[in-house]
Structure 1
Amino acid sequence: MLPQLLLCRNLARSVLRTWSRGASNSETTQDDVIVDFDDPEHLPLPEYPKRPNEPLNKRKQRLLYQSRKRGMLENDLLLSTFADKYLKDFNEAQTEVYDDLINGVSNDWDIYYWATGVKPTPQQYNTEIMKLLKEHVRNAEKVTRFRQPELTYYL
């Protein structure tokens, strides 16, 4: 099995190298360079840009949308219902913590596992907002969450 995986990896590298060289006749740009990391645990990840001057109502609108469009249905349902229930009442500091949580974590499965208690929450994200999210996930009221709530706008 291992020789087949190595063969596939080497084939993919050679195809990508050939493609990046022959993709255009223009000069090679930074986007054309293929970088291969042997240690996927230490991949450099881009940081989410901070928006210090963003008005609070605009930030809440952005977070409401981002809570709905996560890329995985589980978090779409959990975070959209959470944002619908709590985001409108968050102050500026709480809103910033929520922003850091949903945009600072590079893997949505981490948020899901932390919120559901499958994995322990790292100290950096173990905040009052995460505790509120965990309470929301426990769903003591037994609310059915098959659909995302209707969009609301904070003016």
Structure 2
Amino acid sequence: MTGTTRSSADLDQRRRRNLIRSWRRGIREMDLVLGGFADAHIASLTEAELDTYEELLTVNDITLMNWITGAEPIPAEYDTELFARIRDSNTVFAS
């Protein structure tokens, strides 16, 4: 997979922006984790979940990767149901 497989034609501007941000992270592994999640779920996220997702998108890639792989504990403010869904949908770092 080299990028999004999802069309953004049916998405509102906020969801389109977050889809793009998910695929343009800086570290390819995080592109795949967040981009893959966004492809599958961005259209169905609630406004509150979008708020949470946008907060996650502000965290640097190394930190997110460490949280997803379990190399570092997830701070309580980021340890949300949405983060668990992202972590559980991850196939990039799965063992």
* Coordinate RMSD, CA, aligned: 1.5
Q: Structure 1 residue 58: deviation in Å?
A: 1.2
Aligned to 2:69: 116
SS in 2 for 1:124: coil
Gaps of 5+ in 2: 1-10
Structure 1 residue ranges, 4+ long, deviating more than 2 angstroms after superposition: none
SS in 1 for 2:26: coil
Answer with 1 or 2: which has the greater Rg.
1
Aligned to 1:77: 32
TM-score by length of 1: 0.50
Aligned to 1:151: none
Q: Structure 1 residue 61: deviation in Å?
A: 0.5
Residues in 1 aligned to 2:17 and 2:64: alpha-carbon distance in whole angstroms: 18
Aligned to 2:4: none
RCO higher in 1 or 2 (8 Å CA, sep ≥ 6)?
A: 2
Residues in 2 aligned to 1:119 and 1:69: alpha-carbon distance in whole angstroms: 23
Alignment of 1:129 onto 2:82: yes
TM-score by length of 2: 0.80
Residues in 2 aligned to 1:116 and 1:57: alpha-carbon distance in whole angstroms: 31
Percent same amino acid at aligned positions? Answer: 35
Residues in 1 aligned to 2:69 and 2:89: alpha-carbon distance in whole angstroms: 10
The C-alpha deviation readout for 1:27-75, integer Å capped at 9, x for no partner, is: xxxxxxxxxxxxxxxxxxxxxxxxxxxxx82111100000000011110
Gaps of 5+ in 1: 1-55, 140-144, 146-155
The C-alpha deviation readout for 1:107-155, integer Å capped at 9, x for no partner, is: 2111111112221100111111111011111x4xxxxx6xxxxxxxxxx
Matched AA of 2:43: K
